[in-house]
Structure 1
Amino acid sequence: MSPPLSALKDIKELMAKAEQGDKDAYVALGDIYKDGLGVSQDYQAALRWYVKAADQGDPAAQWQVGLLHQSGHGVPRNSSTALEWWRKAADQGHAEAQYGVGCMYHHGYGGVTLDHIQAMHWYLKSANQGYAAAQCIVGYFYSFGYGGIDKDDGQAVAWYRKAADQGDKTAQYNLGTMYQYGKGVPQDKVVAMGWYKKVLDLGRDPAASAKILELEREGYTVA
């Protein structure tokens, strides 16, 4: 099926801007080819456009170049190269890239040694910008005392709630467990059930279903 004329017109306009060195146009064209918006999906073409913007210091493009290297789309998978690009974006305050760098240290990928302190450093930078996935993992670190911090269930709850309020399923589930067992908050199994239900409403989740059945057998329902 041919792409709609409106899409072709948009691509033509972006190409004209790209020829003038517009890095926003480079990023937009990268997005178009990465996601197959009005064109056949082409990761190699996406990478070429992203690199043009990344080489000019655009953090969103640097994040995308790293993502393509990490996933192995359009280029051989290379976590070390991904980390190099993510660092460039993270140093400019890009929240997703900061989270990505944190993940590398958290799991020891990209040629770095596993280092929970460095991971927490980058996760916090991302979390403080409101990135839900980072907020959830910061909560997790507080739950277990990772990353050079003391275990603090109250802080864990606070960070889980920030992410949960943005619809993060993992944070909603974790917040449910905190209420179910009274960690960092007064035990409240009805509230716990409510958070588990939110997870289930976002899609089938065996662990949320098991928790709900467990509480239902105890006689609890959502208020």
Structure 2
Amino acid sequence: MIYVAVFFLVFGVSTLCAQPQIDTRKELAAAQQWLADGEYQQAYEAFHFHAQEKQNPLAQFTLGLFYQQGWGIEVDLKKACRWFESAAEGGIPTANHLFAQCLQNGTHQPADFTSAIHWYQNAADLGHIISWCSIAELTLQGKGIPQNPHKALEQCRQAALTGSTPAQIQMGKFYLHGDTSIQDPRQAAVWFSYAANSGSLEACYHLGVINLNDFNDVTRALNWFETAASQGYLSAYFPTARLYFNAPVSDETKLPTAANLAKAYLWLSATRQLSKDEKELRDTERMLKKIEQIMPESWKKDLDQKVFEHLSAFHQN
């Protein structure tokens, strides 16, 4: 997890000789273990002591995560931002990035894009690669910096070329939804393919969208959607179901094939249980009603069990 990585980044390569430093290291390691074990109150108190009394940047950063994630306490994004600011001033790379997000979004004060770029730049200089794409986003929008879509692409590209999956996804989004001067679905597909090859389900979903809407390749679109859906990516459930529902009917029976009918039912049932999109849910109910008119009743028990097993595997929380 992110706080574990930062812990070792800060302490793992240091030579700590003085006894107070050793004690701090041990105490923070104990607090980290309490956090990992879900002993949130003990962990919070330890981190708060070192953040407040010792002005320890790692402890300050971890307190920010407590308030951001709601680990045993109520989520408070304003407090999270204040602790991220303290940790950023102490040189924690990810804290620089998260504090920049606070400034960009106006979470704890009015949005300040110029300052956000400053802290994103600090994060990037400290090795937080994806921060280049955050700077690129602001460059693309002309917020805090003159608008320059092509410069934005180059800023994010340097992160994507390191193999960063989030940066590759962001490059795909820039080419897909960015300024019209840089939109290029084929280039978007290239970057999403890199990310998909690294296991990104979000990238698989976007490849489904591109193949369906831009390349008019229904077969490949279905393959990408179902790849994402089968591993629990919720946004891909309904597109997968819709493509199975709208698949060509059998030449002999003039009805959907048994396989397509079953798959449509499976993914529509999963959509019905988890989707929050009202239009999607209305369409889901309409399609299920038609399916249930022609699907043998004897199929329902086994198919419902498959839906239950899938949702239990990927959405049990």
TM-score normalised over the length of structure 2? 0.55
Q: Deviations for 1:144-193, whole angstroms, at most 9, x for unmatched residues?
A: 9x8999x694x644421122343343x3244235556896xxx9643331
The aligned counterpart of 1:208 is 239
| 8 Å Cα contact 1:60/1:89 also seen in 2 | yes
| 8 Å Cα contact 2:185/2:214 also seen in 1 | no
Higher relative contact order (CA 8 A, sep 6+): 1
| 8 Å Cα contact 1:42/1:74 also seen in 2 | no
Give, in whole Å, the separation in 2 of the partners of 1:32 and 1:199: 31
Give, in whole Å, the separation in 2 of the partners of 1:13 and 1:30: 14
Alignment CA distance shift 1:49-1:212 (3 Å)? same
The aligned counterpart of 1:163 is 195
| 8 Å Cα contact 1:105/1:115 also seen in 2 | yes
How far 1:206 moved relative to its partner? 9.3
How far 1:104 moved relative to its partner? 0.7
TM-score normalised over the length of structure 1? 0.74
Give, in whole Å, the separation in 1 of the partners of 2:180 and 2:120: 20
SS in 2 for 1:95: coil
Deviates more, 1:44-53 or 1:127-136: 127-136
- Mapping of residues 47-86 of structure 1, within 5 Å: 47-86=81-120
Structure possessing the higher radius of gyration over alpha carbons: 2
Structure 2: segments with no counterpart, 5+ residues: 1-37, 251-256, 264-317
The aligned counterpart of 2:132 is 98
2:190 paired with 1:190: no
Deviates more, 1:127-136 or 1:54-63: 127-136
How far 1:84 moved relative to its partner? 2.0
How far 1:28 moved relative to its partner? 0.3
Counterpart of 2:165 (choices 124, 129, 132) is 132
Give, in whole Å, the separation in 2 of the partners of 1:95 and 1:202: 25
Q: Deviations for 1:121-157, whole angstroms, at most 9, x for unmatched residues?
A: 221122234443421342456679x8999x694x644
2:186 paired with 1:176: no
Give, in whole Å, the separation in 1 of the partners of 2:214 and 2:102: 42
Identity %: 24
How far 1:26 moved relative to its partner? 1.1
- Mapping of residues 143-162 of structure 1, within 5 Å: 153=186, 156-162=188-194
How far 1:198 moved relative to its partner? 3.6
Structure 1: segments with no counterpart, 5+ residues: none
The one-letter amino acid of 2:225's match is Y
| 8 Å Cα contact 1:62/1:89 also seen in 2 | yes
The one-letter amino acid of 1:196's match is F
2:35 paired with 1:6: no
Structure with greater helix percent: 2
CA RMSD of aligned residues (A): 3.8
How far 1:101 moved relative to its partner? 0.7
- Mapping of residues 23-62 of structure 1, within 5 Å: 23-62=57-96
Alignment CA distance shift 1:218-1:189 (3 Å)? farther
Q: Deviations for 1:35-64, whole angstroms, at most 9, x for unmatched residues?
A: 222223333322222122111222211111
Alignment CA distance shift 1:117-1:206 (3 Å)? same
| 8 Å Cα contact 2:139/2:146 also seen in 1 | yes
Give, in whole Å, the separation in 2 of the partners of 1:161 and 1:26: 38
Counterpart of 2:145 (choices 112, 118, 136) is 112
Alignment CA distance shift 1:180-1:147 (3 Å)? closer
How far 1:213 moved relative to its partner? 5.9
The aligned counterpart of 1:123 is 156
